[in-house]
Amino acid sequence: MADKRVIFKYEFAESYNPVYANGAQGGLTPQGEIALNFFLERLPVPRRETFPINDAGEIGDRLVVEPSDDAEAVFVRYVSMGVVMTVDTARRLKDLIERQVKAFEQLQSKATEQQVH
């Protein structure tokens, strides 16, 4: 008897567009699922900046930025997407990420060893 197998074929929506995220925020939903909201954290883009122009027509150092740079530390967390999943799916995702991190660390270790020798 031959081993049983299953094949998963991946199809991508026309709107598929991977996004960069450098953080996530999340928690449990009222239905007991896990919600993760992925964001890009960055400094805010000013609403307005004022620069002098010298006699040669060159732009000088910034004179005014609005809102002021003197304000409290403010960061923008642009939330690009969210994912809601079951706890079982979250465990499988955790396992996938752990395997990928381990593979990366092994490659990094090999590259470091090659640089030393």
**Residue 5 counted as domain residue:** no
65 closest CA partner among 49, 44, 53: 49
Please indicate, yes or no, whether residues 96 and 115 belong to a single structural domain of this protein. yes
pTM: 0.68
For residue 35, the one-letter residue type is A
Token pair 């890009």 in the structure block, residue: 40
Please indicate, yes or no, whether residues 72 and 91 belong to a single structural domain of this protein. no
Domain count of the fold of the chain: 2
pLDDT (tens digit, 9 = 90+) per residue, 51-71? 999 999 999 998 888 877 666
**Residue 57 counted as domain residue:** yes
Q: Which range marks the domain in which residue 105 is found?
A: 87-117
pLDDT at 114: 85
Q: Which string of DSSP letters, residue by residue, matches 23-77?
A: EEEEEE-TTS-EEEEEEEEEPPPPSEEE--B-TTS-B-S--EEES-TTSSP--EE
pLDDT at 86: 98
For residue 63, the one-letter residue type is L
pLDDT of 1 over the 80 cut: no
Beta strand pairing call for 76-85 and 34-42: antiparallel
Name the region of 5 (left: φ>0; alpha: ψ -120 to 50; beta: rest).
beta
Please indicate, yes or no, whether residues 44 and 75 belong to a single structural domain of this protein. yes
pLDDT at 22: 96
